[in-house]
Structure formats: structure tokens, C-alpha cells
Amino acid sequence: MGPIAGVMALMVGTVGLLSKFYAESLESIDPGPVEAIVATGAKFPQKISHSVVPMVMPLFNSSNLFLLDRNIRASTVMGIVGAGGIGFELVMNVRLFEHQKTAAIVTVILITILAVEWISFYLRKKMV
């Protein structure tokens, strides 16, 4: 497959899921604040920036963090099946019985996933 195909596969899947999540976020907003802003005589850009954006940004950020975490995990799996990257290095070291390098790669993957989880937790805590 190669790394270009892996990136394209992740990109297509991510764009599709983000579009779905963003659309659902926009559909779920409360119309009350939007109507209140319109009642004050605000123009369209003011309506969007002062009523819609504050309601959807936490949902957008949550979707973005979820898909970032998903893509990091998926890129490792895709590398294992032939898309290159750290997953490919992991498979090659397992096949060559390079146990120390394999342990180092697994440790790097684990640290990366834990770092993204920690950053995600911190950002969600700051947003709420």
C-alpha cells in the first residue's frame, strides 16, 4: 500500500466522520440564544459569532480530540498491514526477533497514546 495510501485512507475517513459530527453538533444547538441575538438587531456574522460558535465549539473540540486519538491508533494498525510508519517498524522488528527494539517501539506507541489522552483530558477539563 504505502504511506500515501494510508494517509489518504485516514483523511477520507476523518473528513467523513468530522462532517457527520459537525452537522450533528450544529443541529443540536439551542435556538433560544440565537433568537435573543437576532432580537437585539444583530447582523448575521454577529449572530454566528456570539450565539452559535460558543455553543458548538466544545462539541467541535471534543470531536477533534476523539478523531485525533482514533487516527493515532489507526495509523499504527495501518502500518502493521503495510502502510508504513511505526507499525511497519514494529512488524519488521517482531519478524527479526529484535526484542529490545520491539519493546522500545511499543513503549513509544504507548507513551504517545497516553500523552494524547492526557492532553485530551486537560483540554476537556479547561473547556467545561
| Amino acid 128: pLDDT | 67
* CATH number of the domain that residue 42 is part of: 1.10.3720.10
Q: Tally the domains of the chain.
A: 1
Encode pLDDT of 90-115 as tens digits: 889 999 999 999 999 999 989 988 99
Cα separation, 56 vs 50, whole angstroms: 11
Cα separation, 28 vs 65, whole angstroms: 19
Encode pLDDT of 2-53 as tens digits: 778 888 888 999 999 999 999 999 999 999 999 999 999 999 999 999 999 9
Which position has the grid cell 500523552? 115
CA distances from 82 to 55, 77, 94, 95 (A): 41, 9, 14, 14
Provide the domain limits for residue 109: 3-127
pTM for this predicted structure: 0.78
